[in-house]
Each structure stands twice: as C-alpha cells, then as structure tokens.
Copies of this chain bind each other. A is one copy, B any other.
Amino acid sequence: MAAEKQVSCGLDFCSVPDLSNCLMTATSSRYDFICIPLVHPKFKREFVDPELKKRPGPFTRSDMILCSSDWNNLVIGKLSPYIDVDCTNPISRKNNEETLNQELALATHLGLPAITFKLTRNMNQNINFARIIYNKSTTPCAFQVWVQVPMENPAKQANTYRSDKGDDAVESTWEWWNSLRLVCDFHGKLGVALIVSHDIPSAEEINRWLGEPLKCLILPTTLFITNKKGYPVLSKAHQMLLKKFSPLRVQMILSGSNRHQDITFYHNYLDHLAKTYQSNGPVERFARGYEDYLQCPLQPLMDNLESQTYEIFEKDPFKYNQYQTAIYQGILDKIPEAEKDTKTLVIMVVGAGRGPLVRASLNAAEKAQRKVKVYAVEKNPNAILTLQALEKEIWGDKVTVVSSDMREWVAPEKADILVSELLGSFGDNELSPECLDGVQKFLSDDGISIPCSYTSYISPVQSSKLYNEVRQCKEKDKHPLAHFETPYVVHLQNKYDIAQPQPLFTFVHPNKEPFIDNNRYEVKKFVAEQNSVLHGFSGYFEAILYKDATISIEPNTHSPGMVSWFPIFFPIKEAVLLNAGDVVEAHFWRRCTLKNVWYEWCVSKPAPCSIHNPNGRSYTIGL
C-alpha cells in the first residue's frame, strides 16, 4: 500500500508587507506554499504619459528577499486585480497591457511555479486578456496559470432577493472558464482554482468541474464553523464537496483572515479530511499512479503477454470467483446428479495463459463433485512452460496442455464447456468474437460457452485532461490525426459524464446464426443535462459468463473490487460545445476484414463531425 500523502495546502495573503515573515508564518504553520500579490495591489503604474512614467522608485520588492528555490517552489504570484486590458479606451488599454506584461515578466524572472488571477466575467468580454495569457503560456518554460473561478456567480446571490428572476438567468461561472480555455486552445498550462462558495451549487454543476483541469480549491476561512472544542471545521455539505474532489488530488488554498486561535488548525483539519477521504479499495490501490494515463489497448492475439502482465491479471480477486461460479453452474447443468459417476465432462479452456481458468474449472468440478477433463489451449510458448509444470506437478491427467493457437488447433473431441477470457475493456475489442467463432466447431451442439454473451457500452465524456493528453500523443510517422483515431485504455478520473452509458454492440456465443457477421453499426442518442464540452466517449463492457454469473466494468453495475479492466476512451478530434438539452448522436461501427478489426466513429448531432479512423487508417486490431 502506498504511503498516505499529506494534503498540499497553501496560504493566501491579500497584502505582504514583509515577505520573509509571511513565508515563515506559513511554513511554521505547516502550509506548503503561499499566494501573494506580485505588486502592491493598489500600486498602478503608468506607461504612456511621459510625466507620470518618470515617477521614481521600484515597482515592487527585490528578488533578493527570498532565495531562488523558495521563489521556484513556495510562491504563487497574484496578478493585480484592477488590470483590464479589454477596456475600449486605447490609452488606458495600452497602460493596462504594459502593467500586465510587467507582472508576467516579473513572475518569469522570479521563476514562480504559477501565477493566478480571478475571473469576474465571461471571457467573451476579455478576449485580449485571454490572448496575452495564452501567448505567455505558449512560451517555453512558462509558469502554470491558475484561473480562480468562483463556484457561484456573485450575481446569483444578488438575484435570490428578487423573486422575478430565476437562477437560469444567471450565467454559470463554468461558462467564464470555458470561454477562456477555448480561446487558449485548451492549453495544458491553464488550470482551475475553484473558489468554494458558502452555498454549494447543484450536484450536476459540481460534477462538471470534475471534467476540468482542477489544480486547487480555494477555501475562504469564513466557510469554517467552530466545533465544540473550538476548532475550525467544515459543514457536512462542504465536507462532501471535498470528498468529491478528493480523487483528483487537488491542492487547497486557505484564504481570508484567521478566525481561530491558530492558523495551523485549518491545515490540520484539511489534512485530516484528506486522509479520511483517501480511498483504499482494491481498485484504487491497484490503479494508483495510473489515473488518466493513456495506454494503448493490449493486442494479445498479435503479441504475447509478459509474465508480469499475467501476474497482474491473475490477482483479480473477483473475476476468477465469478468464472468459477459460472463453470460450477455449467457443470451442474450438464451432468445431473444421476450421471455424476458415469459421465466425464470435457472443458476446453482456450487462451489458458498461466492457468487461472484451468484452476477455476478444477475447483468448480471439485465443488460440484463431477468428473471433468480439461484441455488447456494456449498459443504463448512461454505460458505453456508454466502450464506444463502445473500439469506435471499438480493437475496430473485431469488436464491436457495443448501448445497451439486455438484457431489452428484440431481438437480430438468435442467440448461440453468452452471457457475463455478474451474480453477487452470494450468487450469485443480483443477479438473475442472472431476467436470464439473459430473454435465453436469443437463445441458440442448443446455446449456452453463461458462467457455466453457480452455487450459494450459508451457514454459521452467531458475531460480537458484527456483531450490534452491525446493531443500530445501525436507521432511523427503516423497519419496526422492518428492520435485522435485510436481508442485508449485509461483509468478515468478527471472527467465528467455528460450522460449515462448506453449498450452498444452485443455478441452471443456460441453464435448459431447461419451467416456469422461480426460487423456492427449502432446509433446512440444522449441528452446533455447542462452546457458542457464533449471530448470523446468512454467505453465499458458487461459480460454474462453463465446465468447469474456476470462481470462488468460499466459504472452502474461495476463488479466490486474487479481490477482487470480500466475503461476505454474514444477521443474526438474537435471538442464539441453542448448546450443543455442538446442531443448527442453518436455513430459507432465495428468493421472486419480477414486480417483486421477496427472501429470507426463519428458524432452527427448537434452538428455533423467527420468520421474517425476511416478504413482503420490509424488503428486496427490484428487477427
């Protein structure tokens, strides 16, 4: 288990008469960094008028007050709040631009890790500001930009006193942020510093922030209440809020004057909450460090898995239990009590790997008190070594190890039960349908396939983080859009589900259709509950192993503790702005040739977008 991490918490100062002293106060109270105004917040400089320009004296403190490593690690610089580079008066605009440039240059000079400023209106009225920030962000070695966004539009509180205006009339502050980052082309240096409000917005609005690059939460001291022992604590509602953001590992900034005996108390409380909320379930432990990390899906048909990969998957606490239950049920259905001593059941495990399904089969048979003969078919010669050792040392003649690709094997007899685990994150994406169609000739007419069916699911997702990650996956020798036309396996964390998942493609085994066709085409419609940005589709699967025994990574039915699959993510190359109520119409194709299988996808509503991965030009799964 990874060590528990303390919360990273900063302290905000509205003015800083003595910087060394401030920093000392903060660090001695256990805070990790400080936020300070870059320049005295009331010191307006003049850059145009020649007389006023002559005003003597430095415009802010010297960089000698702190050592470089302190500037580089402990100080977040706040831009002067009065700067307005979008005012219409050209002289005033020029002055404001120079002021802003001066502060940005200072932040670069000091080597600050980040600068921050507060949004007070929609960026549509702030395009020049957005441009300057974006320009700065695209320079090499630029600092991060933490955009402070109030969780609630201040106009909303003003409105609650007026009965004639509904909440709907007030723009969500998310729109402010959204227009800024659109103008800044989703630049990775930009993050959100969310100012937590006293009234907490709707759950939907909070969830939408989960799809944004949230860097920190700003907590005003006025949010805290005093508990019986005199310590500052948060209300239940605010605690729940922090819990919701906890998986994103956001930092905290405490702002406002100290209202308790010791400023340390706030830190201790936030640290306590962070530790409490840190989830330590099997999935979280397993996935730690892989949050929102893009992986290319495995191609076990084309490539042999490595020992370590087998080891990871064999550890799944839930999956093989379910398999064992399914096989047990299958065995009982195949051999009634009366025939238990006369009949021996043939089980074929196709793709046996290092043997977990063989073990599950033997366990199930033992539990059912039935006789079985197990064939363990595996194409990976390295895994065969393990199987043969197990055969010799433990299993004996109950198990026959077959070193062959299941598609080429000629079975000596027919199976009663065919067991396989060829499923990928999207169900059929590791070509389970093609493999099982190939081997079902060895299954007796009334034989059982475990799994007997599986269904993929998709849902529309907003995630600036993933969108940006995908954009950076560009490879030189591939099609220029290849990185947008490839699905990724990813432990989705920093994302907002625009709508609930819907089932997409289903495959049933054995496939008794007269003409087997594993091509698929489905159209799904989703309704956006609120304004949001579509960045792609998350994909899941649900499989019926046999009767009640199922496994699922679809969030609403996720198998408890099952770690073997992360979701899959289908990106789209251009983010689509959605308004509340918009219908997202998604088209997904599964396309097959004799050599390859691939997906194509597109969005046709609210507006038509182009087809991704035509002809599998960017990504195919090899047979």
Contact = CB atoms under 8 A, between A and B. Distances in A.
Interface of A: 48, 50, 93-94, 123-124, 127-128, 130-131, 134-135, 138-139, 178-179, 182-186, 474, 480, 514-515, 517, 521, 523, 574, 577, 585, 587, 589, 600, 602, 604-605, 607-611, 614-615, 617
B134 A607 contact: no
B608 A182 contact: yes
Contacts of A123: 608
A119 to B, nearest CB: 14
A186 B600 CA distance: 17
Contacts of A587: 127-128, 131
Given A93-B521, A139-B615, A124 B515 contact: no
Contacts of A611: 130-131, 134-135, 183-185
5 contacts: A127-B523, A135-B600, A178-B608, A574-B574, A577-B607
Contacts of A604: 124, 127, 179, 183
Nearest to A577: B607
Contacts of A179: 604, 608
A482 to B, nearest CB: 13
Given A94-B517, A183-B602, A480-B480, A610 B523 contact: no
B182 A607 contact: yes
A579 B169 CA distance: 24
Nearest to A184: B610
Nearest to A128: B521
Contacts of A50: 514
A608 B183 contact: yes
A449 to B, nearest CB: 22
Contacts of A135: 600, 611, 614-615
B124 A602 contact: no
Contact of A48 (B183, B474, B480, B515): B515
A124 B94 CA distance: 48
Contacts of A48: 515
A36 B186 CA distance: 50
Contacts of A124: 585, 604-605, 608
A185 B609 CA distance: 7
Nearest to A130: B611
Contact of A183 (B94, B134, B186, B609): B609
A54 to B, nearest CB: 14
Contacts of A521: 93, 128
A98 to B, nearest CB: 11
Contacts of A186: 610
A615 B134 CA distance: 9
A134 B611 CA distance: 8
A536 B609 CA distance: 19
Contacts of A577: 607
Which of A127, A474, A480 has the most chain B CB atoms inside 10 A of its CB?
Answer: A127
Contact of A134 (B515, B605, B614): B614
A138 B614 contact: yes
Nearest to A515: B48
A183 B182 CA distance: 23
Nearest to A137: B614
A127 B617 CA distance: 19
A610 B138 contact: no
A591 to B, nearest CB: 9
A474 B474 CA distance: 14
Nearest to A124: B604
A130 B611 CA distance: 9
Nearest to A481: B185
Contacts of A138: 614-615, 617
A48 to B, nearest CB: 7
B610 A183 contact: yes
Nearest to A605: B124
A363 to B, nearest CB: 41
A608 B183 CA distance: 6
A521 B131 CA distance: 11
A589 to B, nearest CB: 7
A195 to B, nearest CB: 22
Nearest to A47: B515
Contacts of A515: 48
Which of A123, A131, A134, A182 has the most chain B CB atoms inside 10 A of its CB?
Answer: A131
A610 B574 CA distance: 12
Contacts of A610: 134, 182-186
A94 B519 CA distance: 10
A587 B124 CA distance: 11
A523 B88 CA distance: 10
Nearest to A139: B615
Nearest to A585: B124
A476 to B, nearest CB: 8
A185 B618 CA distance: 15
A419 to B, nearest CB: 30
A90 to B, nearest CB: 8
A480 B600 CA distance: 24
Which of A139, A480, A611 has the most chain B CB atoms inside 10 A of its CB?
Answer: A611
A521 B139 CA distance: 21
A572 to B, nearest CB: 12
A135 B128 CA distance: 41
Contacts of A94: 517
Contacts of A585: 124
Contacts of A139: 615
Contact of A131 (B128, B183, B600, B609): B600
Given A135-B600, A178-B608, A182-B610, 6 more contacts: A94-B517, A124-B605, A127-B523, A131-B600, A134-B611, A474-B480
